[in-house]
Structures are given as structure tokens and as C-alpha cells.
Amino acid sequence: MNNKFLNLTLDYLAWVRALSIKIWINSALKLFFGVLLFLTNQLSIVLAFFLPLKVIILVGSEGVPRYLRAFVTEENKNEFIVWFAIGAFVFYLLFLLTGYLMNRLGVSAATEILGRAKKVALFHQQELFAKDVFLRVARTWGTYFMVFLGFALGLILEWRVFSVLLVFVVAEYAGFAYLWQQYQEPENSAKLMRFLRNRSVILDGVSALNFFTGFGILFYLFLIDSSLNFIIGILLIMMTQQIFRRLVVAINDAVFLVQQKAKIQTVFFTYAHLDTQGKHIHHSFEKMLLPERREALFATAAPGLSQGDVAGWRWVDCNIMGVAVYSLESAEGEKGHACYWLKCYAGDKFNLLQKERLAYERGASGMQGMAPQLINEGSYHGTPFLLLQGGVLKRIQRREFKHRFKAARLKLWSLIPDGQIVSMLQRTFPTLEKRLHKNKLSLMSLASRDADEYGRIARFVERSEIFTDFISTMPLFITNNVFKENNLFLDAEEQPVFLHWHRMALEPVCSDITPNSLEVFFDLEEIAAHLQEHRSDAANITALDLKKIVYLAAIERAISLQLYGEALDLVQPTLEMFDA
């Protein structure tokens, strides 16, 4: 059988070999000394804890213990206590020094490797990433040497203990290989996610099991064989603990090197280009939607609708990574229209599902039909889904989009938000008055060109509390920040409906339009009259109030995008509006 875990292991070993050769070609001496420093570092920490045990044993014993008599006598006992204590201190300092030197060596190696690659900067903190990769590779080879030497020495000193541990390691690898093989099926994607999420806990548990197994066997051997050397026993215990602790670190390094393979290749290999590959859970998610599998998904999500007829469901482009949408034509609808929408989410997009569920649950009441209504939800083998009903929806013709876009915004502004949605959004995301604080407004000073502009910014910042107090009195609305043709539809009554609500937010009315759009697209007098008619909390709102919101929101957006000059241009007209 083709075991995917074995293939993954072989691919990893081949990848580490290729990466190590590349690093060796670019920086051979640094890689050699990196491995050497790592081994010295690990040996130092073992001795730094091993020698104090001898000090405690000598100080706490009357006479000289028999397992130390080969080199310690009554006459030189105190001398050995002093030398062991000094040795422990020296080895601990050596541990700290080698750790520092490894870090410095990593920085130097990263600079050399990046220089030889002769590429422009690909991403933020590229040097730190290259240093991290170099140190992980050095640690990996050092760990290989430690494990091999440790098991070889253990088999020489006490073959019974390390033979059992070797069997345990092989059995655990076989167990992981079996689980990995089972988890590759898309139906087990949820189990695979839990396994990967709990990887560190699982590895720590397996490491602890191995250590206590070795300790238990050694303890039993001491009970039945009084000739065993106590010092060798302590050394075996510490060596066992260090071997399995380093194995856990090495496995975590292996996971990092495999997951970041595309990025590492781009940095370390001269002619490699960055290939943004999807996450494994996205691959599992996509496999679940293949024709041979999705029939069962449709039957589970909409048992009364699909009846196993996959041909009735049609793919809908949504342009949201990790989200798939299918539509099902209803018997009453015209051809090409849809009444039911099935949204499937990858495992790492559960946050989008939760946010959208809130809008869909209130679709008929709180959103007054602007969102489809949720009629079913669940999960099929780790693939969460939502089944929506929105009546007969039709796409908007491109030539009509601007007109429909305006109508959709006007309807959003006209709706008094549902209290439950308002409560949750206020606790989750800061509204405009929270984002428009003095520290943020002060950033406009970076774009000031003279004393007049600097003084204007200072006056604006001083009045920030007036602005925030004003914003807090304005009526709020739930905005949908995905105004695209593949998201805005029309129902049977030609009313706008948004299919996707993963970017909804709570903002003051009219805060989602720009000052430039007021001149050609939006008439604030008409909008104010419309709001006075349709919202009980906007009875006294004026066009000037709406214009103030438009300008304040535009300033906040410009500052967030570091467009300080654009924000500065809006300061003077905003001050004049508040002075009017």
C-alpha cells in the first residue's frame, strides 16, 4: 500500500538534504560551526545539571559512595566537590555563550545567503526568516547526530532499556503513519485538523511516555540487579530525556521546513520563484466538492431539495477564498434564477460562517429581506455549510449596476439595525467614533508643509472630542462592504439582496461614501428626507449632518491607508462645516 506518511517522510528527508546542500554551498563553514555549536550547547546544559547532582550526592553522603570511589577518596572529596561546582557553573556559562554565538552565526549566515541569492526583498523581515531557517537546519543535523549517538551509547551502556525504547519509537511511527493515512480522506478532514492543531500536545505526550517507559525499565533493573552503576543510571535518565525532548523540537522544525518550503525555496534558491500554495485544509475542502463526493454533501445539506440530483446544483463564483457557493433552481423560478443557496466553508473559515449566520438568521426580519434567510446549517465530515433561501433572485445587468448600487445603499441606510446584531458588532469592532481618536488624527502632521497646515491640524485634533460626540448622536446602519456584481442581486420585487455578509460592520449612516461621490452621485438633501421618513431615530437629521459624517469617515479612511495628504485636504472643509 502507498503510505502517504512514509512518502511525506522521504520527501522531507530529500528536502532537508537539498536545502542543506544549498546552505553548504553558500556558507559551508557557518553550517559546520552551527552544528558544532548546537552540539556543544546541548552537551553543556546536560553537564550543567549533571554535575550539581554529584555535588549534592557528595555533600549529603558520609564517606564516598561506592560508585564514585574509582576516582574520589576521603582525602580529595572536598576538592572534587569544589571542582564539580565550578564545572557546573562553567558549563552553564558555556551553554549561554554557545546560544549567543549560534544566534550571531545565524545572522551572519542569513546575510551571506541572501547576498548570494541576489534577489530583491520578497517580504517583511526576510533576514530574520533566513536566520531562522539556517538555525533550524543546523539544529536538525545536530539532533540527528545526538539521537544516533545517544541510542548507540545507550545500547552500549544498557541495551535492555534502549532496545525497548527503539521498539517504542518504531511502533509510534507506524501508529502515526496509520493515522495520517486515514486522515487523508476528505471525510476525515475535521480529524486531521484536530490532529494538526494538537500536534505539540500529542508529541509532548508521546515524549513523556517514552521517557517514563525508559525510567520504569531502568528502575526495575536497579531493583533486581544491585551491581548497576548509579551514576550511569542518572546519565541514562538525563540522556533519555534530552534525546526525546530534542526529537520533539526536531519534528516541529520539520513541520516548519515543510510548510514553508515554497517560501524557503524563494529565499535560498537563486532561480526559484514564490509559489503561493493553498493550505492542506483547503485541498481537503476542495476534494469534498469534487463531483464524485459532493452528491452526499448536497443530500445532507438539503435532503428535501436535491434528492441526490447533483445536476440541479450549479457553481456560483463568489471570489472568497475557502468558501464555495452552489445555487439550486426552484420549480417556480425562471431558468437561470435561484431560490436556494448552499454555502460551504473550509475549516479555517469558520469565523466567516459565524458572522454571516448572524445576518442570515435575521434576514427576513432584522435585515428586511436584504439577506437570504437561513433554513439549514450543519457540517458534513468537517465541511460546515449554510443553506439559504432568498426567493427568486436574479443578477443585475452591468449597465444597471450603478443605479442599483445607489438604491442598495439607500435601503441599508434606511433600516434600523437589529438589536442583537448591533450588540455583537459593537463588542467586536470599533465604530467610527472609536477609531477617530487624537493619536490617529495627529498622524496628519507627517504631511504638513508649513506652520499654517500644522496649526490647522492642531485645531482639528483639539476638537476631536466634539467630532466623536457628534458621531455618537448619528443613527447607525449595518454596512455590507462587498459591493460587487457577484454579491448584489434583485428579488422578485426588484429589491436589493446581498448574498455575502462576511464583511458587515456597524457604522454611522453615509459613512461608506466619499466626498467626491456627493458631487455626481448622491444628493444629501434627498437622502436626509428619505431617512426622516423611514427611520424614527433620524427625524431631525439634516444634509449638513450627513456631509459631516462623510468627511469625517473619509479622513479616518485616508489616515488608515497612510494617505495623510489626502486627509489633510479634507481638514479645512470639515472645520468650516462644524463652525457653520
In the chain, domain spans: 4-268, 278-394, 396-580
Q: If one looks up domain 396-580 in CATH, what number appears?
A: 3.90.1200
**Cβ atoms of residues 330 and 383 within 8 Å:** no
| Spatial separation of the C-alpha atoms in residues 303 and 375, rounded to whole Å | 12
| Spatial separation of the C-alpha atoms in residues 207 and 213, rounded to whole Å | 10
Fold observed for domain 4-268: ABC transporter transmembrane region fold (1.20.1560)
| Spatial separation of the C-alpha atoms in residues 488 and 370, rounded to whole Å | 10
Q: Which CATH superfamily is domain 278-394 in?
A: Phosphorylase Kinase; domain 1 (3.30.200.20)
| Spatial separation of the C-alpha atoms in residues 504 and 550, rounded to whole Å | 18
Strand 338-345 relative to strand 313-316, pairing: unpaired
pTM across the whole model:
0.70
Cα-Cα-Cα-Cα dihedral sign, residues 498, 502, 505, 510:
negative
The one-digit pLDDT tens for each residue of the chain (580 residues) are 457 888 889 999 999 999 999 999 988 999 999 999 999 999 998 888 878 877 877 777 777 776 676 677 777 878 888 888 898 899 999 999 999 999 999 999 988 888 887 777 777 788 899 999 999 999 999 999 999 999 999 899 889 999 999 999 999 999 999 888 888 776 677 787 788 888 989 999 999 999 999 999 998 988 888 777 777 888 888 889 889 999 999 999 999 999 888 888 888 887 766 655 544 444 567 777 888 778 888 888 888 775 544 457 888 888 888 888 888 876 554 444 557 889 988 877 888 888 888 888 765 445 667 888 888 898 887 788 999 887 777 778 778 878 888 888 888 899 888 787 888 888 888 989 999 999 999 999 999 988 999 999 999 999 999 999 999 999 999 888 887 777 888 887 888 888 888 888 899 999 999 998 887 788 899 999 999 999 989 989 999 999 999 999 999 999 999 999 999 999 999 999 998 7
What secondary structure does DSSP assign to 429-451, as a single string? Answer: S--HHHHS-HHHHGGGGGG--SH
| Spatial separation of the C-alpha atoms in residues 504 and 514, rounded to whole Å | 18
| Spatial separation of the C-alpha atoms in residues 294 and 344, rounded to whole Å | 11
**Cβ atoms of residues 89 and 82 within 8 Å:** no
